[in-house]
A = this chain, B = another copy of it.
């Protein structure tokens, strides 16, 4: 793994400040970050509001790192990125804290803007990480979305 890609699974809170410098590249005018954060409220399709108490994340760790690295390689090939950082937290991720942080750097901003959503979509489709919801009523549920494109 060369220094254009940094992939980490962590068990502690993700602080943007710790990772910020990893995107530095003197020929990149654009840096973009996305953080996915545990949200209190979820609106269901039938109009209910579910209240989350906390989330817990589990991974197949070696496979997840491999898939995230491949995702970063593919993003660098598809967009003009010079740096990609992906950090995913495992274990409990309380309300308001980040479960995932993705960053990228590119010479021009359009590449960063196009790459971030693409990388997040692919993470959510392919990377073997799962979340378990604990709702305010203490009920729990592993989240396994129906595949949109079953193969």
Contacts and interface: CB of A to CB of B under 8 A. Distances in A.
Interface string A50-73: 000000000000000000000000
Give this chain's copy count.
2
Interface stretch (A3-11, A84-92, A110-118, A136-144): A110-118
Contacts of A127: none
A113 B117 contact: yes
Nearest to A24: B96
Size bracket of the A interface: 20 to 34
B34 A32 contact: yes
Contact of A29 (B17, B37, B112, B117): B37
A31 B102 CA distance: 11
A83 B67 CA distance: 32
A109 B34 contact: yes
Interface in A9-54: 15-17, 20, 24, 26-41
A129 interface: no
Contacts of A95: 26
